[in-house]
Structure 1
Amino acid sequence: MDFHPTEEQAAAASLAARIFHDLATHERLAAAGTGSDAELWKALTAAGLTAAVEEVGLLGLVLLLEEQGRTTAQVPYAATCAYGVLPVAAHGSSEQRARLLPALGSGEAVATGAFPARRTVTAGSDGRLTGTAPVVPWLRDATHVLVPDRDRTLWLVRTDAPGVATRPVETTAPWSAGSLTLTGAPAERLGGPDAHDAVLAAARTAFAGLQAGVCAGSLARAVEYTSTREQFGRPLSTNQGVMLRAADAHMDTEAIRVTAYEAAWRIDEGLPAREHALTAAWWASEAGKRVVHTGQHLHGGMGADLEHPVHRHFLWGRQLDAYLGCGSELLSELGALISEGEKSDGEKKGEDA
């Protein structure tokens, strides 16, 4: 395994860090409310950071999403890349890639996904979809939605197509979410029978990278606050209890990061990675909520202020905790996957004997 970023990945992450730092300020985020920042989205796409994901791969995307997470920037970047650029590049036909990738890269098209799949959407023999997805992140910004049906087949749906209805939904984090209702909506199939599991594994890995950034940003704010805030004539950071909480949060953040890196690297290399993606998602869920709780707690009374920047990290961390599967769900799925693998190995050994 080699987690060292390539020159292209490092350059893209550095550029993203500058753009997010300059434009995703507390004042701009507060002004955006629960909506997305159109100017920031335009700056990201104009800089080529959406189109670049096709070249830097999933590991590069994880690095880029860390930078988004550090600032909790309100743009549909994670969704467009995880449910648009990467799936189309990996599973789309040559015609779909030629038609969709330029629009996704320029920001003309915005993608999201109706994940996790609840098997509430059915596809007719004519490729028309019927069903509902109660909560879809960044749906209010999206032009295309990647929808899995009951058979785990993936379909791309345009939000302006006949038979498609959307309604705003507020979530814990301000993700411009909405509910999706399909009534005989036309759709185009994306990929073959293996596409669903591959896209879900990549999405879980990508959002784990986003969570790593959210946690890093929360912890950085807590370190800054406790280093400057004094109690009884000395900084709060000199108290043993504060140091231990911060150290535990740092280790949790690193665990999220390294498991996301490993899963992303394996997916980019074409290696089996479903177990690794589930592991990264579990750390993002379980450790992520611990870190954002710590970040808020270490701010003391200031952490209870809903307008304080650290509260935004708390909201994002809790949203990501449950998105694409909470800890217990992920462990159950991981256990079933491991058991299935062990059963297959045992049958193979029996055949060899």
Structure 2
Amino acid sequence: MDFHPTEEQAAAAGLAARIFSDLATHERLVATGTGSDAELWKALTAAGLTSAVEEIGLLGLVLLLEEQGRTTAQVPYAATCAYGILPVAAHGSADQRARLLPALGSGDAVATGAFPARGRITAEDGRLTGTAPTVPWLRDATHVLVPDAERALWLVRTDAPGVRTSPVETTAPWSAGRLVLSGAEAERIGSDGAYEHTLAAARTAFAGLQAGVCAGSLDRAVQYTSTREQFGRPLSTNQGVMLRAADAHMDTEAIRVTTYEAAWRIDQGLEAREHALTAAWWASEAGKRVVHAGQHLHGGMGADLDHPVHRHFLWGRQLDAYLGCGSELLAELGASIAEGEQV
């Protein structure tokens, strides 16, 4: 395994860090509310950071999503890449790649996914029927990647006949929505195995986003406790504060290293289902601990709903729920391991 980024991956991550830090400021995030920042999205796509995912792979995307997570930037970047660019590039036909990838890369099209499959949507003769209660960034999306009850992948346009969307508020302001399909026409993406590959890649991508959320929360906590004094000395000099911050740092690194491993294996075409589940479990369980620690280390300031660290708390809890919560992921991982031992 080689987790060292390539020159192209490092350059893309550096550019993303500059764009997110310049435009995803606390003031802009407050003004954006539960919507997405159109100017920031335009800046990312104009810089080529969306289309670049085809070249830098999943590990490169994870590096970029860490930068988004650090600032909790309100753009549909993770969803468009995980449910649009990567699955179309990996499983789409030549016509689908030629037709869809340029629009997704330029930002003219925005993708999201009704994942994971819950058996709520059925397909018959290329038409979909069913409901996905909560789809992240659906309010921004032009296309939704939908797995049916048989775990085949379908791409449906949000403006197609038989498609209805309505806003849904989630813990984090992710421009989410409810998707209702009534015989909606869709196009098949890939064949057998496309769903499992896409699910593993998406879990890994959102685990990378969580690594960034945790790193951003911890950075804020370190800055606060290093400058906030109590009884004539910084809070950071107290042993209890140091131990809590150290635990949060180790949890964040565990999320990062398991995510890097899963991403690297997927990029290399290796079996990675259990590695993606492991990364998702760490992102869910450890991520929850880290964002709680970030608020706790801010003391009374952490209870302020308008404080920047609260956004990290909301995103961390939302990612915990979206990835499936630790117990659910652990049960799936255990079943997968047991199934492998029986083969």
The answer, yes or no, to whether TM exceeds 0.5 is yes
Q: TM-score, normalised by structure 1?
A: 0.97
Tell me the CA shift for residue 193 of structure 1: 1.3
3-state DSSP of counterpart to 2:266: helix
Runs of 4 or more consecutive aligned structure 1 residues displaced over 3 Å after TM superposition: none
Tell me the CA shift for residue 116 of structure 1: 2.1
Kept in 2: contact 1:138–1:178 (CA 8 A): yes
Tell me the CA shift for residue 326 of structure 1: 1.0
> 2:139 is matched with which residue?
140
**Deviating more after overlay: 258-267 vs 316-325:** 316-325
Amino acid in structure 2 at the alignment position of 1:168: P
> 1:83 is matched with which residue?
83
Amino acid in structure 1 at the alignment position of 2:181: L
Q: TM-score, normalised by structure 2?
A: 1.00
> 1:273 is matched with which residue?
272
Tell me the CA shift for residue 322 of structure 1: 1.3
* Residue 220, structure 1, aligned to residue 219, structure 2: yes
**Where does 1:59-70 land on structure 2 (aligned, <5 Å)?**
59-70=59-70
Tell me the CA shift for residue 325 of structure 1: 1.3
Percent identity, please: 87
3-state DSSP of counterpart to 1:117: coil
Deviations 1:188-244 (A, max 9, x none): 000001000000000000000000000000000000000000000000000000000
Kept in 2: contact 1:115–1:324 (CA 8 A): no
Amino acid in structure 2 at the alignment position of 1:56: I
Q: In 2, Cα distance between the equivalents of 1:45 and 1:30?
A: 22
**Where does 1:82-231 land on structure 2 (aligned, <5 Å)?**
82-124=82-124, 126-231=125-230
Amino acid in structure 2 at the alignment position of 1:111: A
Kept in 2: contact 1:80–1:104 (CA 8 A): yes
3-state DSSP of counterpart to 1:151: coil
Aligned length: 343
Gaps of 5+ in 1: 345-353
Amino acid in structure 2 at the alignment position of 1:70: R
Q: In 1, Cα distance between the equivalents of 2:324 and 2:316?
A: 13
CA RMSD, Structure 1 to Structure 2 (Å): 0.4
Gaps of 5+ in 2: none
**Where does 1:40-59 land on structure 2 (aligned, <5 Å)?**
40-59=40-59
> 1:5 is matched with which residue?
5
Kept in 1: contact 2:57–2:267 (CA 8 A): yes
3-state DSSP of counterpart to 1:140: helix
Amino acid in structure 2 at the alignment position of 1:88: V
Tell me the CA shift for residue 335 of structure 1: 0.6
Q: In 2, Cα distance between the equivalents of 1:314 and 1:176?
A: 17
Q: In 2, Cα distance between the equivalents of 1:277 and 1:121?
A: 24
> 1:71 is matched with which residue?
71
Q: In 2, Cα distance between the equivalents of 1:150 and 1:16?
A: 37
Tell me the CA shift for residue 117 of structure 1: 1.8
Amino acid in structure 1 at the alignment position of 2:215: A
